Amino acid sequence: MANTSDIRNGLCIKFNSELWSIVEFLHVKPGKGGAFVRTKLKNLKTGKVLAHTFPASAKIDDQRVERRKYQFLYKQESLFHFMNSETFEQTFIDEALLDAPGLLKEGLEVEILFHVETETPLSCDMPAYVVLEITYTEPGEKGNTATNALKNATVETGTIVKVPLFINIGDKIKVDTRSGQYSERVK
């Protein structure tokens, strides 16, 4: 058990019999009354964010979590198969735990957050950007870069991304995995 002075961003705690991660916190010492800690907690299963205030003397149940590097292998229905590059151990993650499942390409390195006591995966963090090849889009027009007009393009994973008009089939683009938007063309 820890106390509120141990609170920091990213700390994983057990609160109301569920696992929560501390997104942000603020220690407050008012002129009158006892000190307290305002926090924003994110549920690691549902993604729900909750504001909660802990009194300064409160005990918190901190949990051990580990980030491990895994490589994406393939998708089978709603399960995604990953392999640990060091131990070659495989794990399966449900699509609900992934932020951008449509942007996962075979061989992509990700970080999976595990609860150490139960060895269950809690979340999967993808790299900020992935490079994908365009497999289908309407023909591009040379020199058409003056406007911010966008068109649909299908990438190698089957996801549709909005791209500028000058992008053609076979071009490689960098896609932001947090928003799913086109970032730039890669040579």
Domain boundaries along the sequence of the chain = 2-62, 65-125, 129-186
**Which of 152, 170, 178, 158 lies closest to 106, judged by CA?**
158
Q: Give mean pLDDT, residues 64-77.
A: 92
Q: Give mean pLDDT, residues 3-28.
A: 90
From 2.130.10.10, 3.30.70.330, 3.30.200.20, 2.30.30.30, which CATH number describes the 2-62 domain? Answer: 2.30.30.30
Q: Give mean pLDDT, residues 158-162.
A: 93
Q: Helix, strand or coil for residue 8? A: coil
Residues of the chain above pLDDT 90, percent: 52
Q: Do the first three CATH levels of 65-125 and 129-186 match, i.e. the same topology?
A: yes
User: What's residue 142's pLDDT?
Assistant: 65
Inform me whether the pLDDT recorded for 36 exceeds 90.
Answer: yes
Inform me whether the pLDDT recorded for 129 exceeds 90.
Answer: yes
The CATH code for residues 129-186 is: 2.40.50.140
In which element (H, E) is residue 76 found?
strand 65-76
Interatomic CA distance for residues 68 and 121, integer angstroms? 10
Q: What is the pTM of this model?
A: 0.76
User: What's residue 146's pLDDT?
Assistant: 63
Inform me whether the pLDDT recorded for 141 exceeds 80.
Answer: no
* Architecture label for domain 65-125: Beta Barrel (2.40)
Q: How confident is the model at residue 97 (pLDDT cuts 50, 70, 90)?
A: confident
- φ, ψ at 167 (rounded to 5°): -80, 135
Q: Give mean pLDDT, residues 65-73.
A: 92
The number of helices, as runs of H, and strands, as runs of E, in the chain is 0, 16
